[in-house]
Structure 1
């Protein structure tokens, strides 16, 4: 479904090609009918900004939001594992799954990057994509709430993802995420402290990895071949 590619593009670093494709993105969102009219309305402020604002301003805003603030990182497993070794293995497994479905990932890309994950979902049937999107819903929901708090037009993308997901966020996992510091990107000292904190893990055994991650990879695994 091209809708997931549009959402992936909207969450990627804005470039000239993205700005030039706004009209096409609107057409896909309306034509495929996967996104409700209310969610399309919520996406419009971002689409309008891409059309009207200077590219350098758009890029600066993106970096300020998603690259400087750990609490808004677009790397899914970072919110689950921090920088622990569990995250590395989870990314290896996810990268292998992408390859099995024909999605090539360059050495410069991390598999848990949300725009890349959405690109992967675009290769799947809508129902399968919706079920997989529900697995990291607690991360998506936390990001959505933080962006709403900042009155950011990017909140519309995350609200749309929550609508597309076939299931709600796990309350316990969401609560744990929302208890993490949500640092102001302009507070450099607080940002430094946030990046120096111990890696975040969830679940009863901190050495066993995160149940949500295991479930995500298990659901994404291809079915066994029939004899």
Structure 2
């Protein structure tokens, strides 16, 4: 995403969380020391949450690259319960997902933010990047609109004892939403085998309904818009 760095306090935390939820390739691993330093200086997140996220950074720094990458794929790409594409939790493969994606992308564009090739607007790291460019109250309300989805993803990650659960919990902190204990969040229905979840629908047979489990008490996401477009910032700067 191409946009403007926002110097408000929440901005650095949001950008660190966005980076940590991205695929841990060589470029991200090279940034880990900078992310660690930025997070250690953070005063927005609760100390306990910050320490939990720092544990993930330490784990990524110590892990073998192939091990870290395989764990990421196993965590986020093997089913919808932990998917970082938020609209999958709401719309699944239904045709309603397309208009929702277009609306969110237009929201970004109206703020002067452009997605890079291959980026989807509902990808949680992109959502957090966008929040980092907005004034605090706008960012907080924007994230709060999707808190029910974050709660569901966090609970699924916590049930897997994944260290990534701390990052999603920190995103809820930025939304000023209390993190619900996993046992209080209804678990999504069991998903079928991976091949069935991602199977293409039959021709003229409508959209596939496999794996279209929704988060509990799903609410529509109401995007907070601003009148003036934000200037752009460098993509690589964290602090």
Q: TM-score range by the shorter chain?
A: 0.7 to 0.9
The residue that corresponds to 2:131 in the other structure is 121
The answer to whether the Cα contact below 8 Å between 1:140 and 1:158 also exists between their aligned partners in 2 is: yes
Counterpart mapping for 1:1-227 below 5 A = 1-167=11-177, 178-181=187-190, 183=191, 190-195=193-198, 198=209, 199-200=212-213, 211-213=219-221, 215=222, 217=223, 220-223=224-227
- Secondary structure at the aligned position of 2:113 is classed as coil
TM-score, L = length of structure 1 = 0.81
The answer to whether the Cα contact below 8 Å between 2:86 and 2:122 also exists between their aligned partners in 1 is: yes
Deviation track 1:140-187 (CA, whole Å, cap 9, x = no partner) reads: 1111111111111111101111222134589xxx967x3332x5xxxx
Deviation track 1:72-129 (CA, whole Å, cap 9, x = no partner) reads: 1100011001111211101101101111222211341111010011110110112221
2: CA distance, partners of 1:107 / 1:92: 15
The structural deviation recorded for 1:193 is 3.8
Which runs of no fewer than 5 residues in structure 1 stay unpaired?
184-188, 205-209
CA RMSD of aligned residues (A): 2.7
Structure with the higher fraction of residues in helix conformation = 1
TM-score, L = length of structure 2 = 0.77
1: CA distance, partners of 2:113 / 2:83: 22
The residue that corresponds to 2:205 in the other structure is none
Larger CA deviation: 28-37 vs 111-120: 28-37
2: CA distance, partners of 1:18 / 1:141: 25
Q: How many equivalent pairs are there?
A: 206
Which runs of no fewer than 5 residues in structure 2 stay unpaired?
1-10, 200-207, 230-239
The residue that corresponds to 1:207 in the other structure is none
- Secondary structure at the aligned position of 2:220 is classed as helix
